[in-house]
């Protein structure tokens, strides 16, 4: 597999949706918020024993990946489709599905989390008649504010209303040396960040971003996290 294989897993997810009308709706429209379309899912890279050489990863069986969504229909489509096929294709690799396991994590108003895939947030603008993209670092004040705004837009798009509590903050534990990661999706370069963060806010809003990913490019695989621990009191960072 290529090192950057989010695109191949993205293809597997859509190929596993047998309901053509639903698949096209999700791909082309999803959950709409003004001029934005959110897909309501996120996923990880392949996980398992592997060796790396010349931009490729050679995996030994078994391999796995995490998939997360707020969309019950999408989850049912994937699970039923994967179990009815003798094999699935990940890129050009023929793969047999051995099992599907469900993971449940408790969500609270203050958590220490670890990103399994890079979290990213960016703005686009025109400069000298060229379209430019600026990726925010977790050390910038705008980063957490834009992450929170993105989460609220996802909530409104999916549930059709504002969250009762709009509070959400995301702060890196290591403010001086956050780990930057650069990856590609369909030849687009994306800058994101890995590591452990403090995530605080309304549990209902945090539950949604746990399901669909935190930040931008979630349906491309960015912003998937796991809970490391729950903190009894809110943290001032």
- Active-site annotation holder among 25, 27, 50, 230: 27
From residue 32, give the alpha-carbon distance in Å to each of 26, 35, 158.
Answer: 10, 7, 8
Active site (annotated) includes residue 10: no
Q: Show the tokens assigned to 52.
A: 């790396």
- Active-site annotation holder among 4, 5, 14, 25: 14
Active site (annotated) includes residue 27: yes
Yes or no: say if 196 and 69 are a contact pair by the CB < 8 Å rule.
no
Active site residues: 14, 27
């Amino acid at each position: 597999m290529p090192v950057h294989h989010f695109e191949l897993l993205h293809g597997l997810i859509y190929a596993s949706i047998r309901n053509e009308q639903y698949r096209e709706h999700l791909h082309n429209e999803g959950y709409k918020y003004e001029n934005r379309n959110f897909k309501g899912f996120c996923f990880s890279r392949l996980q398992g024993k592997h060796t790396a050489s010349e931009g490729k990863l050679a995996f030994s069986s078994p391999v796995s990946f995490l998939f997360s969504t707020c969309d019950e229909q999408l989850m049912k489509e994937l699970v039923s489709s994967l179990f009815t096929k003798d094999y699935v294709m990940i890129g050009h690799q023929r793969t047999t599905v051995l099992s599907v396991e469900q993971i449940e994590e408790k969500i609270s108003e203050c958590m220490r989390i670890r990103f399994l895939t890079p979290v990213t947030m960016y703005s686009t603008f025109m400069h000298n008649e060229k379209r430019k993209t600026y990726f925010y670092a977790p050390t910038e004040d705008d980063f957490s504010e834009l992450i929170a705004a993105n989460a609220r837009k996802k909530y409104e798009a999916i549930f059709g209303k504002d969250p009762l509590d709009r509070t959400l903050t995301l702060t890196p534990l290591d403010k001086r040396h956050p780990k930057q990661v650069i990856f590609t999706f369909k030849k687009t370069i994306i800058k994101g960040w890995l590591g452990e963060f403090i995530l605080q806010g309304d549990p209902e809003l945090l539950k949604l971003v746990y399901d669909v990913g935190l930040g931008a490019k979630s349906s491309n695989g960015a912003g998937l996290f796991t809970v490391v621990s729950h903190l009894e009191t809110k943290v001032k960072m």
